[in-house]
Structure 1
């Protein structure tokens, strides 16, 4: 049996795969400040459903996959460890100077962002390595020891070491690490060249600083997770989800906690790609609508979207991770996003009610209306069957909150105010999708929307209509899309080496030697994965640019290119094609500068198999309840059960199709049918939509 746990801002999702082809989903409120309590609550629900106690249930678990917001929350809330930075003498301002950039260049009221590690905790280390790897000045070990004494006096909890050109010659950084281990043994440290061997100083130093600052808190969290789950009977191995869309053993995550940033959202594209492939689609807009955020990503040509431009906080004002990750955009428009009226204008999000106290309808002390409250008031969510009946919802309390906070200030009726809340949340979601499609030259009409997350179905049809999308797919496990994605993911590790090479003076033997070295490291990784590793693959790539460019792009290569007589020409052709795909143009007359080489090692922990919920032989439903649509006003519309719906059945809007953990709202003019895999496919444009009160007849 395998478990996958995704700790979200509002709910903790648990997917159980019993290796029989049928999966189960369980949800429990995320607990603060200790999310492990919420994890154990979800496990208790799964054990109860099986008729077992927690100890015997966990005793049958072979593998547990886990994603958490612990790391990113620590950075955003300023709760990361007190960290020092050791930099090359004369270069202490790497984190302060950054790479430049302003989102609003003419607004001089925006203060200059503070560095991730303050100057008071930045120390200069005498010694200098040159760009060619030569030693310009020897490392002053006496000065390093003096700095270590200062670190003790300042009660530093972690240390980041980032010296100039350590990616070419790491001797100085390695020696500093040895001295830290000897004279400051209880304080964790990160060496920049080992973590992120990239040529750019700010990115390498920023990632090093973030990683070091997370080591104490993440090590403590992972130790507590293993100890508490082990105490309750877990003997299986725990793998952590990474922001690169893969898996690592939790022991490795403790050594490189930066991998955990945005780990949960990275799994939605993995699952979205899988479900899109089942429908024969290679381009998919993957959405994950949770209680706190609405996450979107674009799977194009069957490939996961990747980026090195991941910021913690606002762009240019936050901190750049400098680390490659799955490209996921998030907006504060989840089901728990709070609606308010400011200056006579309606505002929805980004502030969220989270799980504590949660939306007003939860009855847990929340007083401010949310998107979920609007959906309950409009009749889309069955108040007596929320989370499969685990939680009853207070409809009248939600109605009163919307009336006092939104309807009265705007001079609207309660239902019109609730519709306005849904409409405004829809606009935020549409803009997020346009950022990753229209603004990148992709027509949304050519893509299928994958609806993931418990709140995905509330306004997915409205979103598809605004974008012109022809279809929306709601997988049966979509309510826990990220947790399901971990089941489909792979054990991964990326190995990089910075070696500058021009294609005009290409060293084929040198290139083959670099790749051979990277492959050897990848094979060592596979060996460490043990007999469970299967379907092993190594993806090779270069980081290249035109000579007149500042930034590099990743271009996939293979060994046959390097072994060919015209290896340089093949690499240049591959670069031209990739550049044109990304930016719409190419410079055929130019050579290419190769800045770095990478090898991504990946393998599966189990055979690829479908993860789906069991079907039900009960009635599909169709019983009516009161709902409100902008096209029809308040009417009685049917509600169907997804798991009991027949594959041949066609459901037309206005209606809802619901399961234990999600509700898909079919606006008038849309229709839906069940897929062979157990999901729901929705066509948002079946007939023209006009406002006719005869729907209410």
Structure 2
């Protein structure tokens, strides 16, 4: 038995894979103690199986966890007190960044704060050159003095990024050793170990972000593993990473930057599987709607997109992780997004969220501001007696009173018009987020299928799909816990990178092949260690390449594990030209290429791809009618179908409602829903 748990802003999702059967559970997230929410969800699963939690956990082989703990700590400023050590003369790396601006001619915009303030930035006397030679020896006495100052300041973590440590790490290694000697209880991250790549800002930013998260994530993961063990679990604990894979919890504790976008990264993994199962190779828009955020991504040609420009906050104004991550766009629009009227009399939805505490007004946990979920309840989309399968009854009267006083009366419209306007505005915000990853990148959403995931997805997934003109909408049977389901489909992965500059005109065959051999040995060691017992192991090589005089590189897959001769090099150069053409629509096939950073990624598949099937519901597919409000039809009685009980091929014509214990799918007028043979709900628009 395997478990996957995703801690979101409102609910903690748990997926139990028991052989060929999958079961879903949801518990409220507990922000004051997220581990308690995880254990609560496990307790619900144990109750379902009719056994004590300890005995249930004793039968679990693997626990896969995704969490927003790291990203939330960064956004709220609750990371460790962190110092930054860099080469003397270069203290402004984190301040200057890479020079980009959103509004280049708006001089009223304050320059963003550095991740580590100047009073915690220290200059180390030393200098390594680009070729690895040492121009100025390391002043070890100065480093020891800095360490003493760090102790006086009560620093909890240190990030060290010296110039050209990727070419020769000897100084950076020695700084790390001195800090370990003088500050044995302080977390230290060395840039050449964490992110051995070009671009000083990206490497420095990754280093200090990782260092700042180490105390927090080590404490969190220690508590998680210890409390799971105390509760009866003796299996393997894995963490979801930003790269769309999983790593052992101990490895993530050593490099917590991998966990920053761990939750959202899993939705594309699950979305790709469900789309290929039901639609083949069509472009896929994955939209994961939680209580707090709306996360969207795009899968083309079966490939999950990733980016090395992952910003925490606004582009250029936030902080760049400097690490590859699944390319997911997030906006503040979810089931818990708060609806309000601003001073100008305009309706606003989000980005503020009620979260899980106090939550929407209807939850009865102290919430006083109306949310998207409250509006869906008022419109009849959600059955107040069947929320979470009846485990959490909702207070319709409280939701109505809050929306009336705070929105409807202020806009001088009826209650149902106000609720419909909130849903419509949320839909438009979601459409805008999807436009950014489709239309703005030259992709026609009309040729794409939209996958709706998350507990709140069904409230307006069909409306979003219609608004975009998508080919169809698919709500997978595990859609309410899409990210957690994706965690069970992911592979154990790690990546190694080495800097070696060479050109196609004077290619360093000996140096490149020696480097690739070293990285292959590292990948194989991982496969033989953490990846032992995997049913399949794959090692893929890639290189970051560019045209001469270009500033930025693109990543190009390497066909084999070595570049043995000129023919292999010619293939790589041709692949670079083709990739440049694919990304930018132009290339220069008569030009040579420059190769900068070489990468090797090992993927260990722990199980066959796919997910088990949900157990069928014993009730009839049709469970009567409910009075529901649509802007185009007004109040009307519409049929209600039970998702789990629908047999493949059964069609439900909108307006209608299809509901399960964990989600409600609104079938808009003019659309038709049908259960697929794979188990999902296909909606023809």
TM-score by length of 1: 0.97
Q: Which residue of 1 aligns with 2:425?
A: 424
Q: Does 1:97 align with 2:96?
A: yes
Alpha-carbon offset, residue 560 of structure 1: 7.0
Aligned equivalents of 1:282 and 1:534: distance in 2?
28
Aligned equivalents of 2:213 and 2:634: distance in 1?
51
Aligned equivalents of 2:160 and 2:190: distance in 1?
5
Q: Which residue of 2 aligns with 1:175?
A: 174
Q: Which residue of 2 aligns with 1:119?
A: 118
Aligned equivalents of 1:77 and 1:458: distance in 2?
29
Aligned equivalents of 1:230 and 1:622: distance in 2?
42
Q: Which residue of 2 aligns with 1:690?
A: none
1:75-474, aligned counterparts within 5 Å?
A: 75-279=74-278, 280-342=280-342, 343-474=344-475
DSSP 3-state at the match of 2:548: coil
* Contact 1:64 1:238 (8 Å CA) reproduced: yes
Aligned equivalents of 2:531 and 2:648: distance in 1?
42
Aligned equivalents of 1:249 and 1:172: distance in 2?
30
Alpha-carbon offset, residue 198 of structure 1: 1.1
Q: Which residue of 1 aligns with 2:505?
A: 504
* Contact 2:94 2:201 (8 Å CA) reproduced: yes
Question: After superposition, what is the alpha-carbon deviation per residue over 1:659-694, rounded to whole angstroms, capped at 9, x for unaligned?
Answer: 11011101100001101121100012xxxxxxxxxx
Decide which moves more: 207-216 or 101-110.
101-110
Question: After superposition, what is the alpha-carbon deviation per residue over 1:46-84, rounded to whole angstroms, capped at 9, x for unaligned?
Answer: 111110111111111110000111111111111100111
Q: Does 1:51 align with 2:16?
A: no
* Contact 1:532 1:606 (8 Å CA) reproduced: no
DSSP 3-state at the match of 1:42: helix
Aligned equivalents of 1:642 and 1:274: distance in 2?
20
Alpha-carbon offset, residue 405 of structure 1: 1.4
Q: Which residue of 2 aligns with 1:694?
A: none
Question: After superposition, what is the alpha-carbon deviation per residue over 1:587-631, rounded to whole angstroms, capped at 9, x for unaligned?
Answer: 222221111110111111223343331112320124101000111
Aligned equivalents of 2:172 and 2:470: distance in 1?
52
Q: Check 1:530–1:538 CA distance in 2 against 1; reply closer, same or farther (3 A cut).
A: closer
Alpha-carbon offset, residue 202 of structure 1: 0.3
Q: Which residue of 2 aligns with 1:695?
A: none
DSSP 3-state at the match of 1:606: coil
Q: Which residue of 2 aligns with 1:693?
A: none
Alpha-carbon offset, residue 558 of structure 1: 1.6
Aligned equivalents of 1:622 and 1:533: distance in 2?
45
Q: Which residue of 2 aligns with 1:71?
A: 70
* Contact 2:541 2:561 (8 Å CA) reproduced: no
Aligned equivalents of 1:89 and 1:574: distance in 2?
41
Aligned equivalents of 2:263 and 2:90: distance in 1?
36
Aligned equivalents of 2:497 and 2:101: distance in 1?
30
Q: Which runs of 5+ in 2 are unaligned?
A: none
DSSP 3-state at the match of 2:519: helix
Q: Does 1:598 align with 2:599?
A: yes
Aligned equivalents of 2:137 and 2:483: distance in 1?
49
Alpha-carbon offset, residue 100 of structure 1: 1.5
1:551-630, aligned counterparts within 5 Å?
A: 551-559=552-560, 562-630=563-631
Aligned equivalents of 2:610 and 2:296: distance in 1?
25
Q: Which residue of 1 aligns with 2:635?
A: 634
Aligned equivalents of 1:569 and 1:295: distance in 2?
40
DSSP 3-state at the match of 1:628: strand
Q: Which residue of 2 aligns with 1:62?
A: 61
1:474-513, aligned counterparts within 5 Å?
A: 474-513=475-514
Alpha-carbon offset, residue 144 of structure 1: 0.8
Aligned equivalents of 2:559 and 2:514: distance in 1?
14
DSSP 3-state at the match of 1:627: strand
Structure 1 stretches of 4+ moved >3 Å? none
Alpha-carbon offset, residue 580 of structure 1: 1.5
* Contact 2:559 2:572 (8 Å CA) reproduced: no
Aligned equivalents of 2:611 and 2:218: distance in 1?
34
Q: Which runs of 5+ in 1 are unaligned?
A: 685-697
Alpha-carbon offset, residue 207 of structure 1: 0.3
DSSP 3-state at the match of 1:531: coil
Question: After superposition, what is the alpha-carbon deviation per residue over 1:75-112, rounded to whole angstroms, capped at 9, x for unaligned?
Answer: 11111001111111111111111111222233333211
Q: Which residue of 1 aligns with 2:17?
A: 17
Decide which moves more: 499-508 or 85-94.
499-508
Decide which moves more: 510-519 or 58-67.
510-519
* Contact 1:80 1:214 (8 Å CA) reproduced: yes
Q: Which residue of 1 aligns with 2:5?
A: 5
Aligned equivalents of 2:142 and 2:486: distance in 1?
49
* Contact 2:655 2:669 (8 Å CA) reproduced: yes
Q: Which residue of 1 aligns with 2:541?
A: 540
Aligned equivalents of 1:516 and 1:173: distance in 2?
25
* Contact 1:309 1:322 (8 Å CA) reproduced: yes
Alpha-carbon offset, residue 294 of structure 1: 0.4
* Contact 2:159 2:208 (8 Å CA) reproduced: yes
Aligned equivalents of 1:607 and 1:160: distance in 2?
40
Alpha-carbon offset, residue 564 of structure 1: 4.5
DSSP 3-state at the match of 1:90: coil
* Contact 1:281 1:448 (8 Å CA) reproduced: no
DSSP 3-state at the match of 1:562: coil
Alpha-carbon offset, residue 518 of structure 1: 1.2
